[in-house]
Structures are given as structure tokens and as C-alpha cells.
Structure 1
């Protein structure tokens, strides 16, 4: 009897040791959402309400430096730069870049932070949520609670649902909260295809039928000069 108990305990300990930590799960989710560190991507945002889609070019480096440039007719020339020191916005008719918050609406339900702060692990501390989460039915599904540790973070708290697929964790859904504790919106992640990051659907919990889709159309590895991510460069 004692031998059987020791075998069970050893097996349980081995399983626990092999289970990834919350931080490791989050890193796998980030790798799935953006597989390259330094990149250039073309993105389309669709609101589904008859409004023309917005198109953008995103250039990012070192997880925390991202330049978003609008290319659609109604926003062309607008630039958003995010670094650890803040978010800067420049429009052709302004004399200099101004500071904004990542919660600034870009189009529909999409905020600028949804494009410029793609990797969660740079801005949030992760812990496995002990209580059962709605929408996480499978045994391979885990709910993470993410708490912001950076002023540059878009949201104060995120409940992230991830599932194990093909040996790694991929994102399913994220509940996005602001500092007041209000659930601002829900992000649903579609399966990634063709080497592109997953399409993300954003919806207001009070109006779930009104969705905004953020679609990556192209992405490639790229290197950029350091001055590209300087706020003064926006004005040139």
C-alpha cells in the first residue's frame, strides 16, 4: 500500500513539475499572437457597420517599441508611437506629437493599445486563476489573471483563457478591464492561419453583436534604425 502511495505521489510531482507556469503559458500565447520580435505588418480593421475598413502598417521592435501608421484615406498620415515612456500621436495638421493613452479609440472597438501593445508578458504579471472561468470548458483550458505592472499597459486587468493545442498554449478569449474594475470589452481570438497572427474580434459586453475585427494581412521579420522609435521622428 505504501509503495503504491509513493508511486502516485511521484507521478503527481512529475506532472506538476512538467506543467508550465503562468508566465510560460503567457509567453506561449504571446509567441502565437506575434511570432517575431522585430516585424513589419499590414493590418485591416473592420467595424461591420458600413464604415470603410481602416488600414495600417505596424513596425515593432524589442516588444515595447511600436510605430503604427494609418494608410486609409480618412486617417492617412496619422502616426502612433508607443514606448515604455508613453504613447505619442502625430497628425499632418499638427505641429508636434502629443501624448495619448493606449485606450484612445483607433476604430470601432479597437484601441491603439490593441495594436501597439501586442505582447502581454511585457506589461502584465500572470497568475493561474483558481476559480473556474466561464468559457473554459476543456480540461486543457486554463484561465490566467493578468495584472498590469507598467503604466504603458492598455488595461488594468485581463482574464485570459488559453487552451493547449499541438503542445503549446494558444489564446481563446480575453476579458479586458479598466482601472475602475469595469469590463470594457471582450476579445476573441480566431485560429492563426498561413503564418499570420490570429484575427481578433473585439466586442462590448453590452452589445456583443457589434464586433470589430483586427485582421493581419501580411507580417514579416524586419530590422529598423533606433531613431524610428523616437517621438521627434514622427514630426519629420
Structure 2
């Protein structure tokens, strides 16, 4: 006579055993696909180079198109001067903002208005205010401002409908003045070209989603535009076109808020 109770127990034991084996194999597979810290760091630095094409002091001419409910609302131009050690000067070039400047020295920020002789200290959060926040156009470097880790490899669907394999990376701010506390960044598996980024505030709330457009600059594959979808005000969208990036070094005086408050830099 068969002992059906024993048979059922044996069946349950086998099922549990197979499940544990498959789970163990799956964990081994996932571990083998994981990327080490050095590889992730190199990947983030490479993604940065697609945006700036240079690690030297640079001038970035940015054209910002502001859309509301699908209609072009405003266009603004900014000339952004960057140099190593997280120093940037943003010169507002559009007529309605003429004379305004933003200076960023590590975690310190100043807004300089044309009719004021006094630099206005602002906070990292204030830097993000406005339709086209300076934090989004100042070409901050992920490799300098964030610590990255690998999350997973996945198939990512582009706005065009095309799919490609991408690494998802988690970037956590390592400076007080970073524009966003955390960033989920997707880069292509084959070249580490930046594809998409979800940008989170310190509260943990997603603020914007960025999509990067590839083109050619100076005969090199480059990010030529970035589309920002506002997740707080979904009817708003910003498209930033990087019209020109060139190596250009400003004198030290231009990174001094006292000098900027007393002198016009309209020629920059």
C-alpha cells in the first residue's frame, strides 16, 4: 500500500528543493552581471564626456526652449563658463534677462542683478527655481558631484519606440550643492552614452525626467540636446540645445562675486 501522506510530503520537499536551487542559480547569474565600482565610475566619467567633450575650462552656449501644454512659450539663451573644481559662471543673454549672472563656486551660489551692486546669496533649492533652472543648464558633472552604483541591466524603450540595452545606475549626491539629491541614470551598454535620467529632490520626490539626444560635435558623438519633462507641473517641458561647446578659460576675476557685481560682463 502507498502511503499518500508520505508521497505528498516528498513532493513538497522536492518542489521546495528545486525552488531553492533555481533561486540560488538566479542569484549567481545576477551577481555575475553586476558591475564593480571602478567600472561604474569609469562609465559615469565617460557619460560626462559625451556632454562636455572636454575636461578643460569650457564655454557652453545653451538655447533653452520652454513649452507649456505643447506650445512654445519662451526662448532663452545662456552662456555658461565652467572650469574644474565645480566652478561655473552663467551669463544670461536674452534681452528680458540681460545683465543677470549666476556664479557657482563649489557649494556657494550668487545671483547678480544688473541694478544691484550687491551679490545675492542663494540656496541650492533656490538655484532650481524657475522654468529653466540654472542647475539644469550649468552642465554639472555627474562624476564630480555624485557617487554611483550599478542597479541592473534592462531593455529601455526610447520616445521613438526603439528599444536598446542599458545599464541603470544610481547616483547619490556627495556634495551639499548638487542640483538633485539622487539621480537614476540609464546609459547604453555598448558605449555608456547617457540616454535617460530621473532627477529627485532631497524630499525623495521626482522633479524631472531628462532624455538626451545624440549628435556629432567636433567630429565626436555628443549630447547635443536635453529634453526635461517636468514631473511636478506635467504641462511644462524644457528643451535645452547645446549650440556650441568650446575650450575657453576666463580670468580668475570673473569667478569673484564682488567683481561681477561691479562690472558688466555682457561681452562674455
Superposed CA offset, 1:113-171 (max 9, x none): 112242111110000014858659633x1001000010120100000000044xx3110
Superposed CA offset, 1:77-118 (max 9, x none): 10001111411110012221112234435652x311112242
The whole-number CA distance in structure 2 between the counterparts of 1:32 and 1:184 is 23
SS at match of 2:98: coil
Corresponding residue for 1:23? 41
Supply the RMSD in Å over aligned alpha carbons.
2.8
More helix by share: 2
The answer to whether the 8 Å contact 1:83/1:152 transfers is: no
Count, aligned residues:
220
Scaled by the length of structure 1, what TM-score is found?
A: 0.82
- Runs of 5+ in structure 1 lacking a partner? 1-14
2:261 is equivalent to residue 235 of structure 1: yes
Corresponding residue for 1:158? 183
The whole-number CA distance in structure 2 between the counterparts of 1:156 and 1:18 is 22
The answer to whether the 8 Å contact 2:169/2:185 transfers is: yes
The whole-number CA distance in structure 2 between the counterparts of 1:184 and 1:79 is 24
Alignment of 1:54-133 (within 5 A): 54-62=76-84, 64-103=86-125, 104-105=127-128, 108=131, 110-130=132-152
The answer to whether the 8 Å contact 2:37/2:149 transfers is: no
Superposed CA offset, 1:29-83 (max 9, x none): 0000111221112111001344331011111111511100001011011000111
Scaled by the length of structure 2, what TM-score is found?
A: 0.73
- Runs of 5+ in structure 2 lacking a partner? 1-32, 263-268
Corresponding residue for 1:12? none
The answer to whether the 8 Å contact 1:133/1:143 transfers is: no
